[in-house]
Every structure is written in C-alpha cells, then in structure tokens.
Structure 1
Amino acid sequence: MKKYLSVSEMAKYAGISRRTLIYYDQIDLFKPIKIGVNGYRYYGIDQYFELDVILLLKNIGMPLEEIHTFLNNRNVDYAVQEFYRQRSKVDKQIVILKDIRTSLDSYIKRYETLKNFDLESITYSYREAESFVISDVIDSIDGMDSVEIYGRFYSSVDSKDLFSGYPIGFLVDGAAFYEENFHAAPYRALVKISDERLPLYKSQKIVTRPAGYYVSGFMKDEIHHINIFNNHFRNYLKKNNLVLDGDIWELLWQDEATSEHPEDQIFEVLIPVKEMA
C-alpha cells in the first residue's frame, strides 16, 4: 500500500489545485508530512482528514486566518460557537444580497419602461404620495457651486437609497411653469426614500410629493424636444380645463447608465393639477 502522496496526488484526491496545497504549506495552514531529499512535498494518506476539515470550513466561507485558529482550538463547544458566528455573517450577507437583488429588479423595471415610452403621449392620472430627500437649491446646471451642492447632497444620502433603482428626481417651483423654459429654472435634486427609512434623515431634508392628480409625460433633454414638450403640456392643460396646482416634479428615467450622450436623457415631468374654477 502506498504510504505517501505527492502534491499532485493529494491535490487530485482532494479536488483542489497543486497551487492551493503549496500555498497552504507556505502559510503554515496545511503542511506535508515530509520533504524529500529532492525538495518535493509528501503527504500521508491520513492527512486527508485534516485537509477535509479545512475544505469544509472554507466551503462555509470562513477566512483562512480564522481556519488556522479553528484548527488549533478544536472541541465541540468551540466548533458550535464558531459555526454560530459564521452563520451570523452569512445572514448579514444574505440581507445585503437581497437589497442588491431588489435594486436590480428596480433598475430592470425602470429601463424596461424606456422601451415603450412615448414622447407624444400625455397622461392624466392619480399618483400616490412619495417621500424624497432633497438638496439645497441649484441655480444652474453648470458651475462649481452646483457641483459642490450635488457633492454635499449625494454624499449625505445612503448608497442603499441613492442606488435603489428608482429614478433620481428634481423639483422646480411651480411658478416657473409659465416661463419660456421652466427646465432652466432653479431646482432641487431629489432621491426617493421608503417610509421605513425616513427616520434616517433629518425632517427638514425630507419633502413629500402629495397624493393627487398629475398630468405627466416623457421629454428628451434636448432643446428642440423641450420646447415642443412645453407647448404640448400647456395646450393640454388649456384644452382640458386644468390649471397648475403645486410644484413641478421631474424623474430622470434614462441616465448615463444607458447612454453616454447627455442629450439622450429622458425625463418624466409630473405637474399637479386641478380643474379650473
């Protein structure tokens, strides 16, 4: 019966690579039982059981340095304690992965919407209330002041909310609607916040889009489309005997993730309305 196994034989026996075994030797995690005069590593067949423990611990996600400590402290109580601890780490990872999955679902749903949007269509519909974290006033798109405001704002928003998949929004004073180009008026940036996460933010940084009826439509961020959109919206309100009833809300549905050209950005504009008296 063969007494020793070479590195290649032990690696094949355990289903791992030679490089892995050599690395385990180098970090004193799993060493060969002898080194031949030729400098080759040799393992005893019964060492496989020790290697099996290492592979078990590695399979459940335990880091190599923790595996080293585990091997030097083996007993039932210690094993149970460490497995509980490892399970707790896995539970936290599951929560993180579920959040990532939720964000991915939201992004997919959002970008699927872009396949069917219509720049000519205007919708009159009831919208539920939604809450947002809001930035300071931004006077212009260009300039260092706007960059600084954006920087302060986005750094204050938790990444879980900032990258939830929901379109980033903008809020414009309703009075600007009757200006030549209300999209060039001062505005504030918005990030949607779910109700359960509202306590994470200061109340003065929260704004709620009221529930109610809104006239909405999609618009490309290109001057020709903006001008057409403005006229189209105003004509719709006049034709349907509706008047503005609040501030203007914009949602950026197509962003730099789906096009490298700024002029390809697509906004949904939502204008709260009521029937003209």
Structure 2
Amino acid sequence: MKKFLSISEVAEYAGISRRTLIYYDQIDLFKPKKIGENGYRYYTFDQYGEIDAILILKALNMPLDDIRTFLKRRNPDYTQKELLNQRDKVTRKIQELEQIRTALDGYISRHEKLTEVDFEQLSFQYREKEYFVVSDLIEPSDDSSTFQIYSRFYSLIQSRDIFSGYPIGFLVDGRVLDEGHIHLSPYRALVRIPEDRLELYAENQLITRPAGYYVSGFVRDEIHQLSDFSDRFKKYLQEQGLVIDGDIWELMWQDEIATANREQQIFEVMLPVRSKSGKPLG
C-alpha cells in the first residue's frame, strides 16, 4: 500500500504549484514528512487536513505568518477568537475600500459635471452650509511661506478627508473683486469636512460657509478669463440689485490630477449676496 504522496500529487490536490509547496516548507508552514535521499519531498495522507486548513485560512485573507501561528495553537476556542479577529480586519478593509470608492466617485462626478458647465453662465441659488478645515493666510507671491503653510495645514487633516474626492477650496476677502485678479490676492486653503467628523478637529481649525444665496460661475485659471469673469460678476450684481455679503468662496473642480497645465484648472467661484435694497432674497 502506498504510504507517501509526492509533491506533485499534493500540489494537484491543493490546486497550488510545486513552487508554493516548496516555499511553505521553507517558511515552516507546511513541511513534508520526509525528504528522500534524492532530495524529493514526500507527504503522508493524513496531512491533507493541514493543507485544507491552510487553504481555507488563506482564502479568508489571513497572512501566512498568522496562519503558521494559528496552526500551532488551534483549538475550537482559539479558532473562534482568531476568526472574529480576522472578520474585524476584513470589516476595516471594506470600510477603507468604500472610502476609496467614494473618493473615486467624487473625482468622476467632478469630471462629468464639468462636461456640462457653461462658462458664460452665472447662477443664483440657495446653498446649504458646509464645513471646512481652514489654513493660515497664504501670500501667493511667497513660495517658501506658501509651501510651509500647506505642509502644516495638510498635517492637521486626516487623509480620508483630504482625499475624499471633494474639490479643495479657497477663501478670499470679498473686497478683492473690485481689485481685478482674485488669484493674486492673499487666501486661505479649505478642505471640506462632513458634519459627523467635525469633532475630530479643533474649533479654531474650522470655518463654516454660511447657508444663504450665492452667485456663482465657473472659470479657467487664465489671466484674461479671470479678468473678464470679475467684470461679468460685477455687472450681474449691478443688474440684479445685489451686493456681496461676505468673502469669496472657491472650489477647484479640475486640479492637478486632471491636468498638468495650470491654465486648464477650473474653479467655481461663489459670492454670498444680499439685496441692495434690503429685501429678502428667494
């Protein structure tokens, strides 16, 4: 009666390669019962339960080091404990993947939105309040200082909020609309934070974009376009009997992920407004 199985027979049974079984031997995970004088590895029939356990645990995404420890300690209670631990790890991984998918959906929807944008159109609409982490004041003419401020700013924010797929924002003093090129003015960088995550940040790091009526439009980061855009904004406000009621809020819908050309970057500019006459809007 045959007492031993060759490495090829075990590999065929397990659906893995001979090279994998050799590696399992080298790391003391699954070793042959004996090695012949010819150097061949031989296994016994009662080892199929052990290779089955390895295959099951590997399919459950357990690392090989953990499987090796598991096999040495396994009993019903230990097995239950370790499987619960592994389920917790998988749950966290699923949550991480869902966050990545949400970010991808955000980037994709931004592109889709921009394919429908009319750059000549200004809109007037009510917007709900949103929350942002805000940076220190940035002087665009000082590259060294700008780099340092951004470094400190991003170090304060959890990566899932930075890479959420939502456009990074900027806050500019509303008075600069009359001064021409708003992108040459001092500004603060903004990263939107969901309301249920506000408690993770210090109060002095946060700023709220108030709910209310805003005039908004899209513009590329080109000098002549920005100048024309500011003129159209001022003309629209005058025609509609509106005045700026706060600072300028911007969102960069097309950023360095989409283009290496700065002039192809696209911003949505939002101005909070009120009626010049004092009458309620809406």
Q: Does 1:173 align with 2:173?
A: yes
Write the letter of the residue equivalent to 2:14: A
Q: 1:220-265: per-residue Cα shift (whole Å, max 9, x none)? A: 0011211111111111111111111110000000011111111110
Compared with structure 1, are the counterparts of its residues 106 and 141 closer, same or farther at alpha carbon in structure 2 (3 Å cutoff)? farther
Gaps of 5+ in 2: 278-282
Q: Give the equivalent residue in structure 2 for 1:275.
A: 275
For 2:141 and 2:191, the matched residues in 1 are separated by 17
- Shift of the 90–141 alpha-carbon distance from structure 1 to 2, 3 Å rule, reads farther
SS in 1 for 2:73: coil
Q: Sequence identity of aligned pairs in percent?
A: 57
Q: C-alpha deviations, 1:78-99, integer Å up to 9, x for none?
A: 1111111111222222222222
Could you tell me how far apart the structure 1 residues matched to 2:163 and 2:271 are? 25
5 Å-filtered alignment, 1:191-202, equals 191-202=191-202
Inter-partner Cα distance in structure 1 for 2:181 and 2:107: 30
Q: How much has 1:4 moved relative to structure 2?
A: 2.7
Partner of 2:109: 109
Q: Following the alignment from structure 2 to structure 1, what is the Cα–Cα distance between the partners of residues 148 and 116?
A: 35
Aligned partners of 2:218 and 2:266 also within 8 Å: yes
- The amino acid of 1:143's aligned partner reads D
**Cα 1:189–1:141, aligned 2, differ >3 Å: closer, same or farther?**
farther
Moved over 4 A (4+): none
In structure 1, the partner of 2:133 is 133
Q: How does 1:140-159 map to 2 (within 5 A)?
A: 140=140, 142-159=142-159
Q: How far is the alpha carbon of 1:183 from its aligned partner?
A: 2.3
CA deviations over 1:65-86 (Å, ceiling 9, x no partner): 2211211122111111111111
- DSSP-derived class of the 2:166 partner: coil
TM-score in terms of structure 1 length: 0.96
Structure 1 gaps, min length 5: none
Aligned twin of 2:76: 76
CA displacement at 1:9 relative to structure 2? 2.2
Q: 1:95 to 1:23 in 2, by over 3 A?
A: same
Contact 2:181 2:223 in 1 (8 A): no
What displacement does 1:142 show?
4.5
Q: TM-score, normalised by structure 2?
A: 0.94
Report the AA paired with residue 89 of structure 1.
Answer: K
Which deviates more from structure 2 when the two are superposed, residues 124-133 or residues 229-238? 229-238
The Cα of 1:133 is off from its aligned counterpart by 0.4
Instruction: Provide the residue aligned with 1:184 in structure 2.
Output: 184
Separation in 2, partners of 1:223, 1:181:
7
Question: How large is the Cα RMSD of the aligned pairs?
Answer: 1.3
**Offset, 1:124:** 0.6
Q: Aligned pair 1:253/2:253, yes or no? A: yes
Equivalent-residue separation in structure 2 for 1:141 and 1:25 (angstroms) = 62
Which whole-Å CA distance do the structure 2 matches of 1:13 and 1:89 have between them? 30
2:229 matches 1:237: no
Q: Counterpart of 2:25? A: 25
User: Aligned with 2:31: secondary structure?
Assistant: coil
Counterpart residue type for residue 19 of structure 2: R
Matched with 2:13 is: 13
Alignment of 1:205-216 (within 5 A): 205-216=205-216
Rounded to whole Å, the distance in 1 between the matches of 2:199 and 2:49 is: 52
- Match of 2:38, SS? coil
Q: Distance in 1 between matches of 2:72 and 2:81?
A: 14
Q: Name which of structure 1's ranges 155-164 and 83-92 shifts more when overlaid on structure 2.
A: 83-92
Amino acid in structure 2 at the alignment position of 1:178? D
The structural deviation recorded for 1:141 is 5.0
Q: 1:63 deviation in Å?
A: 1.6
Matched length: 277
Q: Compute the displacement of 1:2 (Å).
A: 4.3
Deviates more, 1:5-14 or 1:155-164: 5-14
